[in-house]
């Protein structure tokens, strides 16, 4: 009888032990499975985060600000063969662009998180390029005139330019102290500018030659003696006097004998396609953080590094 009891007791203990081990084994399996599921979930979360981050990066990529300018209008913009002094590659060209307009374009693009692309166009092609959407904006020393504002929108001014006159230092007009003193002069300026359409007609009895296609052509006309004077803005005049030491700059600003121009005609702005308020507001937000002194300092730097200044 005792053997039978012992036998059944041993058998019962064996069964209990098996159940207990099974229970322990089941718990470990669940914990392992839970851990695996947690790890898998973590990997999925990480993958999702990485994917989201990748999508954000991709969304940021490809944001390009296409800016048009002549690349031949120092100190606002010019062409050079290397990237010296922070010059930017010109689209579809082996050359680089630099100058005040390029510096401003770089500042705007960097602040807004855009890549910058400089597009070189002749002066008469700038407005049509903006209108067609071929470029995002034009930064090229354009005055904010009512006529242009009928075709494109403008940002707030990114420079304030006074009007000056250039003559040869040995000219009979070299001592002129007013617009009236320029009477009878043979003169010209750049095509489609207020210098040509607004200022030159104010010179009494002026012999106005056909407008020149570009600022360099205008300066060559003066240097070659084909005209007595040209009218332009202060930065262009300052840069020209470095490139052409024989030039003399006449500044009538602040006198009764100055050219009569409106603020809109001497305020320089960035033109954009009509209705592009998003880009206009973004650029204006950058310009709002700058002062006229900032503009002047940037222009002085551009004048100091222009190719013919050294």
Mean pLDDT of 210-216: 94
pLDDT in tens, 168-179: 999 999 999 999
Give the fold, CATH level 3, of 163-252: D-Maltodextrin-Binding Protein; domain 2 (3.40.190)
Please give the pLDDT value at position 264: 80
Mean pLDDT of 155-183: 97
Please give the pLDDT value at position 39: 44
Q: How many CA atoms lie within 13 A of 127 on its CB side?
A: 16
34-43, 104-113, 227-236: range with lowest mean pLDDT: 34-43
Q: Which CATH architecture has domain 64-159+272-309?
A: 3-Layer(aba) Sandwich (3.40)
- Say whether pLDDT at 84 is over 90: yes
CA distance 303 to 99: 8
pLDDT in tens, 266-306: 899 999 999 999 999 999 999 999 999 999 999 999 999 99
- Say whether pLDDT at 201 is over 90: yes
CB crowding 195-217: b at 16 or more within 10 Å, else e:
bbebbbeebeebeebebbbebbe
- Say whether pLDDT at 216 is over 80: yes
- Say whether pLDDT at 37 is over 70: no
CB crowding 227-243: b at 16 or more within 10 Å, else e:
bbbbbbbbbbbbbbbbb
Please give the pLDDT value at position 62: 65
Domain locations in the chain as residue ranges: 1-61, 64-159+272-309, 163-252
pLDDT in tens, 4-28: 434 434 443 443 334 333 333 334 4
- Say whether pLDDT at 59 is over 90: no
Please give the pLDDT value at position 309: 53
């Amino acid at each position: 009888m005792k053997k039978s009891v012992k036998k059944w007791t041993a058998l019962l203990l064996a069964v209990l032990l098996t159940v207990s081990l099974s229970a322990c084994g089941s718990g470990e399996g669940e914990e392992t499975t839970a851990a695996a599921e947690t790890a898998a979930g973590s990997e999925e979360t990480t993958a999702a985060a990485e994917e989201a981050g990748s999508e954000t990066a991709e969304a940021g990529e490809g944001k390009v600000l296409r800016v048009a300018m002549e690349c031949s209008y120092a100190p606002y913009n010019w062409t050079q063969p290397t990237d010296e002094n922070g010059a930017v590659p010109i689209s579809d060209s082996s050359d680089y662009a630099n100058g005040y307009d390029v510096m401003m374009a770089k500042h705007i693009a960097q602040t807004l998180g855009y890549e910058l692309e400089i597009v070189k166009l002749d002066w008469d092609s700038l407005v049509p390029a903006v209108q067609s959407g071929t470029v995002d904006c034009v930064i090229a020393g354009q005055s904010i005139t009512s006529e242009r504002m009928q075709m494109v929108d403008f940002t707030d001014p990114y420079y304030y330019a006074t009007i000056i006159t250039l003559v040869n230092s040995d000219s009979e007009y070299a001592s002129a102290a007013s617009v009236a003193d320029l009477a009878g002069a043979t003169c010209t300026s750049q095509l489609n500018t207020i210098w040509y359409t607004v200022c030159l007609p104010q010179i009494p009895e002026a012999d106005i030659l056909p407008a020149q296609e570009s600022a360099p052509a205008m300066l060559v006309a003066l240097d070659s003696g084909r005209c007595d004077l040209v009218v332009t803005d202060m930065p262009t005049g300052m840069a020209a006097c470095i490139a052409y030491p024989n030039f003399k700059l006449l500044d009538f600003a602040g006198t009764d004998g100055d050219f009569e121009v409106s603020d809109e005609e001497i305020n320089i702005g960035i033109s954009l396609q009509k209705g592009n308020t998003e880009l206009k507001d973004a650029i204006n937000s950058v310009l709002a953080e700058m002062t006229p002194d900032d503009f002047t300092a940037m222009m002085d730097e551009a004048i100091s590094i222009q190719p013919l200044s050294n």
